[in-house]
Amino acid sequence: MKFLKRLIPFLICFGMITVFCSCEKEEDIIKEIESQIPVITEEISANQVEGFEEKKPKNSQVGIIVDSWLKIISIGEKDGVLSVFVRNTSNKDIQYALLTVSVSGEKAEFPITTLTAGASATLRCQNGLTYNDETSYYNWKISDKVVFNENLSCHPDAFEIDGVDGFISIKNVSGKDIEGKIYIYYKNVTDGVYDDGVTYRAYVDGLKKGEKTQIQTQHYLKDFSRIMFVEYAE
């Protein structure tokens, strides 16, 4: 397998993404992917990100960098759930990590998947805790961090992939049969920021040489989804 490590089971296996990768050289492929990475600038404030309601909790840690790579930009709410706005300040693509903070005797958990170097995300508390003005959000911690060991690639030498809302098509242009599963990983983006810690995964059970197939998806939106990488067996 390319990218042998599986994403830890917080990945949700539905949907797909549009991607137009036509570069022939590996360095060009990497540049193509990097150009799609949403990186929010310091000039853009958290309250400009649709759906995220920034709060100003007293005596809380904001603006700090946890574990030397994850910046806590803001604390707030999203869909009525405690949320944080974060940025990967390192030069490493993070495959998985768990961000936690103690909240009134409970532990708020924020899973992170496929947070690329320099990119930002809004994370909702996975155990459903709500924001409280009287609570102090201190002692942020990172655990279970896994870093990608290889550059992420969509393998345009092997596949042509495109799509519309709710549907994707994929064609095998590799010149040979691919018998194993072909996995496509993507994230949704709002205002240049990844939505939540979720990375979606879709797959095809192999493709013959030159074969093209279409798959109905649940989460793919042409204007809001971005490819992260493709994984398949030779």
Residue 4 domain flag: no
For residue 152, what pLDDT is reported?
A: 92
Residue 11 domain flag: no
For residue 7, what pLDDT is reported?
A: 43
63 shares its domain with 129: yes
The Cα–Cα gap between 203 and 181 comes to 6
The Cα–Cα gap between 97 and 233 comes to 26
172 shares its domain with 104: no
Provide the domain limits for residue 110. Answer: 46-147
The Cα–Cα gap between 18 and 59 comes to 43
The total number of structural domains in the chain stands at 2
112 shares its domain with 163: no
For residue 80, what pLDDT is reported?
A: 94
Q: Which of these three, 117, 147, 177, is where a domain ends?
A: 147
Q: Say which CATH number the domain at 212 has.
A: 2.60.40
For residue 53, what pLDDT is reported?
A: 94
Nearest Cα to Cα of residue 87 among 48, 38, 146, 47: 38
Q: Which of these three, 147, 175, 193, is where a domain ends?
A: 147
For residue 48, what pLDDT is reported?
A: 77
Tens of each residue's pLDDT in the chain, 234 residues: 444 344 433 343 333 333 333 333 344 434 444 445 555 555 566 777 889 999 999 889 999 999 999 999 999 999 999 999 999 999 999 999 999 998 888 899 999 999 999 889 999 999 999 999 889 999 999 999 999 999 999 899 999 988 789 888 889 999 999 999 999 888 898 888 999 889 998 899 999 999 998 888 889 899 888 888 999 987
For residue 37, what pLDDT is reported?
A: 53
For residue 13, what pLDDT is reported?
A: 38
Q: Which of these three, 95, 122, 147, is where a domain ends?
A: 147
64 shares its domain with 138: yes
81 shares its domain with 133: yes
The Cα–Cα gap between 209 and 207 comes to 7
Whether residue 17 contacts residue 184, with contact meaning beta carbons closer than 8 Å, is answered with yes
For residue 38, what pLDDT is reported?
A: 56
